[in-house]
Amino acid sequence: MKNLREQIEALRDEITGFNSNDPAQVEEFRIKYLGTKGQLKNLMGELKNVPVDQKKEAGQLLNEFKQFVEAHYETLKSNSSSAADAADTGIDLSLPGDPTPLGSRHPVTLMRNQIVSIFQRLGFAVAEGPEIEDDWHNFGALNLPAHHPARDMQDTFYIQQNPDWVLRTHTSSVQIREMEKGKLPIRMLMPGRVFRNETVSARSHCFFHQIEGLYIDKNVSFADLKQTLYFFVKEMYGANVKVRFRPSYFPFTEPSAEMDVSCFICGGEGCHVCKKTGWVEILGCGMVHPNVLSNCGIDPEEYNGFAFGLGVERPAMLKYGVNDLRLFSENDVRFLKQFTAAT
Ligand code: PHE
């Protein structure tokens, strides 16, 4: 038994020391150790000389050793065959791989992310909704009953199969969906693509992107709305930009306003971007109309809030110096690859 153990250990050292990826030598290894007249067979033959009370232990030793030799042989074999493959095909496995070129973010996405991240710092979360909407979510619930003249403010695409369906003209439809859920308070941003039947030109398109915001709670005031938007403007355009509100009309807000910022291109001097007025209009806003709240099952006596909406393409055009809206949707890689988050 002692003898057997010593023989195994001596062979184990020998085998561990054997290394080659030459297929002929690996075959020699197999014959020498694993072949029908090989060393392993020899050792197995010795089992009959081991005293009966030690046979079990000796059997276990031999089995474990057999597995070791076979595993070593498998490793040698696979190394030698991959070396042979490499030699056959002439592939240099040590060459570095081809780098995969990284894509870049779309300028509209970059602008959207920048705007969203500013409002996120005030605790606004992002909500999304379907681009094909029913009449109720796009118009009815927003205080625009059938035949309301303000429906003409947004030229709408209707779906032929079902006159109740439209391509949403604004993401206010997502505001309705959020309010219908009945979880209050709400502090949400609704970014998304919207559609209007307008002639496609350098300055207008039949689809574009919007970000709307909605805040519903108890005792929300117009001052809260102004403060939120002041914060946004400062973060977006810098501390020196001036802001003004002009009274306006939206069926879903009362009172309503449009917000202008002093032209951040010419600093208010007057240029082609602000059409020599010194001001650039950036968003519409107002206090959510009580009818809209009750349409969504919220008691307007208990809750109120504000909403605002702004386009994404226009600030992106100004930031990146893009002079034609159509470039955003043509998918020309030469255009798209120019934008990085840092610029
Ligand atoms: N939904 C309006 C639009 O698309 C924007 C808006 C949103 C105005 C919220 C006021 C309040 O023009």
Is the backbone of residue 164 left (phi > 0), alpha (psi -120 to 50) or beta? alpha
Q: Which two tokens stand for residue 93?
A: 């496995």
Give yes or no for residue 342 having a pLDDT over 70.
Answer: no
Q: Parallel, antiparallel, or unpaired: how do β-strands 304-311 and 207-217 relate? A: antiparallel
Domain boundaries defined on the chain: 2-89, 107-339
Ligand 1 atom with least separation from CA of 256: 10
Could you give the CA distance from residue 246 to residue 334 in angstroms, rounded to a whole number? 40
Confirm or reject: Cβ of 313 under 6 Å from ligand 1.
Answer: no
Name 224's Cβ contacts closer than 8 Å, sequence gap at least 6: 215, 306
User: Which residue minimizes the CA distance to atom 5 of ligand 1?
Assistant: 309
- Does 315 sit in the ligand 1 pocket, CB within 6 Å? no
Ligand 1 centre to CA of 195 (Å) is: 14
DSSP code, position 37: T
CB 272: neighbour CB atoms within 10 A? 8
Atom 9 (ligand 1) nearest CA: 308
Residue 1's identity, in one-letter code, is M
Q: Verify whether ligand 1 is closer than 6 Å to residue 173 (CB atom).
A: no
Q: How far apart are the CA of 142 and the centre of ligand 1, in A? A: 10
pLDDT digits (tens, 9 = 90+) for 328-341: 999 999 999 898 76
Q: Is 295 in the pocket of ligand 1 (CB under 6 A)?
A: no
The long-range contacts involving 36-39, CB below 8 angstroms and separated by at least 24 positions, are: 39/11
Locate 51 and state its tokens. Answer: 């005293």
**Structure-block tokens of residue 46:** 């010795």
Tell me the CA–centroid distance for residue 154 and ligand 1, in Å: 11
Q: Is the CB of 191 under 6 A from ligand 1?
A: no
Residue nearest to atom 10 of ligand 1 (CA): 285
Residue 172 Cβ contacting ligand 1 at under 6 Å:
yes
Instruction: Please compute the mean of the pLDDT values over residues 95-109 and round it to a whole number.
Output: 88
- Is any ligand 1 atom within 6 A of the Cβ of residue 170? yes
pLDDT, average across residues 184-195: 97
- pLDDT one-digit tens code per residue, 259-310: 999 988 888 888 888 889 999 999 999 999 999 999 999 999 999 999 999 9
CB 253 less than 6 A from any atom of ligand 1: yes
Ligand 1, closest atom to CA 214?
9
Q: Residue 284: CB within 6 Å of ligand 1? A: yes
- Ligand 1 nearest atom to the CA of residue 171, by list position: 1
- Distance from Cα 49 to the centre of ligand 1, integer Å: 96
326 pLDDT tier (thresholds 50, 70, 90): very high
Give the mean pLDDT of the chain.
91
Q: Where are any strands of DSSP class E within the chain?
A: 125-126, 132-134, 165-167, 186-195, 207-217, 243-250, 253-262, 279-288, 304-311
Q: Is 282 in the pocket of ligand 1 (CB under 6 A)?
A: no
* Cβ 303 under 6 angstroms from ligand 1: no
CB 238 within 8 A of CB 232: no
Question: Does 208 contact ligand 1 (Cβ within 6 A)?
Answer: no
Give the residue whose CA is nearest to atom 4 of ligand 1.
170
> Checking DSSP bridges between strand 207-217 and strand 243-250, what pairing results, if any?
unpaired
Give the model's pLDDT for residue 343. Answer: 44
pLDDT in tens, 58-100: 899 999 999 999 999 999 888 888 777 777 777 888 888 888 8
Write out pLDDT tens, residues 243-266: 999 999 999 999 999 999 998 888
Percent of the chain with pLDDT over 90: 64
Homologous superfamily of domain range 107-339: Bira Bifunctional Protein; Domain 2 (3.30.930.10)
